Amino acid sequence: MFAVNVLAAYLLTALIDRSGRLVFLSSGMHHARNPNLDDLQWIRRRWNAARAYAESKLLDVTLAFALARRWAPGPLQRGRPRLGAHPHGRPYASDDLDLGVQTQVWLATGDDSGATRTGRYLYHRRPYAAHPAASDPAVQDRLLAICADLTGRPMP
């Protein structure tokens, strides 16, 4: 779960030229967990798919916020990562599928001030409270360091 949902996003971001826009997808389930940075790959913990998913979605938010903080625009740079939440894509999803993609499309293509602001967790194009740990610079920096160590690729 961590490798697919977090480490892959980290590595792809580390390998591309810095983009004007990055949109990270998460889930409201990210509120259900606290980050366990001592066992991100669930080696020492008893496996629980729902908890692992929720934790990985929290770490997606943390990664996006870390990049937004680190890649603050300078005089030659126009953008920072944007973050949008998404509903679950299962038959019992709690959201309309059409509404579920509107935030991501807006963040990727919109030019208004709402779409170009950065470092926010959004739901239906509106700011929504993210888990407090995602905004903690110490948690962000530790996650980036762990991902750099696991991939052998530091974030530029």
Per-residue pLDDT, 147: 97
Q: Is residue 144 part of a domain?
A: yes
Give 42-54 as a DSSP string: -SSSPP-HHHHHH
Q: What is the pTM of this model?
A: 0.83
Residue 82's Cβ-side half-sphere holds a number of Cα atoms within 13 Å equal to 26
Domain of 78, in residue numbers: 2-151
- Kindly give the confidence (pLDDT) of every residue in the chain, 156 residues in length, as a single tens digit, with 9 standing for 90 and above: 999 999 999 999 999 887 677 888 777 778 777 889 999 999 999 999 999 999 999 999 999 899 988 887 644 434 445 555 444 444 445 666 677 678 778 888 888 887 777 777 777 777 888 889 999 999 999 999 999 999 999 998
For residue 139, the one-letter residue type is V
The radius of gyration of the chain's CA atoms, rounded to the nearest angstrom, is 15
Q: Is residue 138 part of a domain?
A: yes
For residue 59, the one-letter residue type is L
Q: Is residue 86 part of a domain?
A: yes
Q: Is residue 156 part of a domain?
A: no
- What CATH number is given to the structural domain containing 33? 3.40.50.720
Domain total in the chain: 1
